[in-house]
Amino acid sequence: MSWVRVCAENEMAPGESRVVWDGDTPILVLNFDGALYAMEDKCTHEDYELSAGPFDADEGTVECVLHSARFDVRTGKALCAPAHVPVPVFPVKHEDGVVWTRDNR
C-alpha cells in the first residue's frame, strides 16, 4: 500500500482539516491540539461527507451536518445517535517534513 501526501507539517494549524483521496477513499485529516488524525470522510449513519460539518477543535469531535451524529476524531467512535458504528480511522506518519496517510484496510 502506498501512502498519500497530505501536506507539509507546517501547513495545518490546530483546528484545521483537509480532505485527501486514497484511490476511491476520501480521508479527512484533522489537527486536534497539534496532533494529526485521519478518518474516512463518510458518516456511518448516512454516507455523507463529515468534512462538510463542524470540527470541534476543543472537544476533538466532528459532526455530520445531516443528522448531527458526532464522532471522536482520535478513535472514530460514534458519540451519539443516530450513528452507532464507528468511522474507520487511518494511520498518519510524518516523514522529512511531510504528513502522509493511507487507507490501510
Average pLDDT of each block of 10 consecutive residues along the chain (105 residues)? 94 97 98 97 96 97 97 98 98 98 97
φ, ψ of residue 76 in degrees (nearest 5): 80, 0
The 10 Å CB-count burial string (b at 16+, else e) for 36-60 is bbbbbbbbbbeebebbebebebeeb
Give pLDDT, residue 1.
Answer: 73
Give pLDDT, residue 87.
Answer: 98
Query: Could you tell me the residue ranges of all domains in the chain?
Result: 4-97
Whether 49 and 18 have beta carbons less than 8 Å apart is answered as no
Which grid coordinates belong to 6? 497530505
**∠ CA(41), CA(39), CA(102), 5° rounding?**
105
Pairing between β-strand 70-72 and β-strand 61-63 as defined by DSSP bridges:
antiparallel
**∠ CA(35), CA(19), CA(56), 5° rounding?**
50
- Quickly name the fold that domain 4-97 has: Rieske Iron-sulfur Protein (2.102.10)
